[in-house]
Amino acid sequence: MRKSPRLIIAIVIALFSAVTYFTQRSTNEVTGEVQRISITPEQEIALGLQSAPEMAQQFGGAIDHAVVDDYVAAVGERVVARSAAGKSPYRYNFHLLADPETVNAFALPGGQIFITVGLLRRLSSEAQLAGVLGHEIGHVVGRHSAEHMAKAQFTQGLIGAVGVGTGDLSAQQVAAVVGQAVNMKYGRQDELESDSLGIVFMQDADYDPRGMMRLMQVLAEAGGARGQSEFFSTHPNPENRMQRLEALIALTGGGGETAEARFQENVLKYLK
């Protein structure tokens, strides 16, 4: 019995997707990890810049307060400038979003980083803010979105193969897969890696890494807000995560600024 040409094409596409996925390897300059990634850092930057306005719009848009906005950017830039993140090819921008209810922070590929007013006003020191931004910078440097996109492309190739085989796959379905890739939640390993990178970046930038621990407590105490938070999206057990951070800080050493007064002066004075 002859195989239909459609089935053969479907098999070829599926094989091609698998081969492409498993041969695209690159070594991460900061983490040293070998990763499967199919886009370049320049494409990551472009993708992040393109999606940034849409991302901002989902959380109340940019806040109209120059002092607080500039302060958040300055803290982020200090973390980048004094750490290995500054040696990565990415261009960092820090955006404060006006949404007062949602307690969250995000990173798009290539260096676009966001924090909501809802999270910012629950913090009490500059070190905690550096912890939020350091964790998000960790997702960028770790290229976590790009990794997910490479996986999604692999999946997409398989779906495409099914589409050719059965003859129905709409452009909307493909677009949905791409959109999902950009907004995808990170995996547990990605969160742990971002925690570790965040701690290291904080230490390099002379911030007290215990700010990250306090940040976890703040998020846990936010209770109902926990479900909304990127930080806890894939972590059913924040206590384990805090123990892990505690061990990491004990190993690498504490010290550094907490800068509560500066946080009060530049943020809480205006947002409370």
What residues line the site for Zn ion (CB under 5 A)? 191, 194
Nearer to Zn ion, 160 or 193 (CB): 193
69, amino acid identity: D
Whether 33 and 192 have beta carbons less than 8 Å apart is answered as no
Shortest distance in whole angstroms from residue 186 CB to Zn ion: 6
Shortest distance in whole angstroms from residue 231 CB to Zn ion: 6
Nearer to Zn ion, 191 or 204 (CB): 191
Shortest distance in whole angstroms from residue 64 CB to Zn ion: 27
Shortest distance in whole angstroms from residue 137 CB to Zn ion: 11
Question: What are the angstrom distances between the C-alpha of 15 and each of 12, 58, 160, 195?
Answer: 5, 38, 12, 36
Q: Is 37 helix (H, G, I), strand (E, B) or coil?
A: coil
Nearer to Zn ion, 5 or 236 (CB): 236
How many angstroms separate the CA atoms of 9 and 40, rounded?
29
Shortest distance in whole angstroms from residue 114 CB to Zn ion: 12
DSSP state of 89: S
Instruction: Report phi then psi at 45, rounded to 5.
Output: -60, -45
Residue spans of alpha helices (H) in the chain: 5-23, 41-57, 66-81, 117-120, 126-141, 144-166, 171-183, 188-204, 210-221, 238-252, 260-263, 269-271
How many angstroms separate the CA atoms of 7 and 15, rounded?
12
Nearer to Zn ion, 78 or 241 (CB): 241
Task: Enumerate the β-bridge partners of residue 97.
Answer: 62, 116
Q: Quick one: 247 exposed, middle or buried, by C-beta within 10 A (0-12, 13-18, 19+)? A: exposed
Shortest distance in whole angstroms from residue 232 CB to Zn ion: 9
Nearer to Zn ion, 204 or 230 (CB): 230
Nearer to Zn ion, 99 or 195 (CB): 195
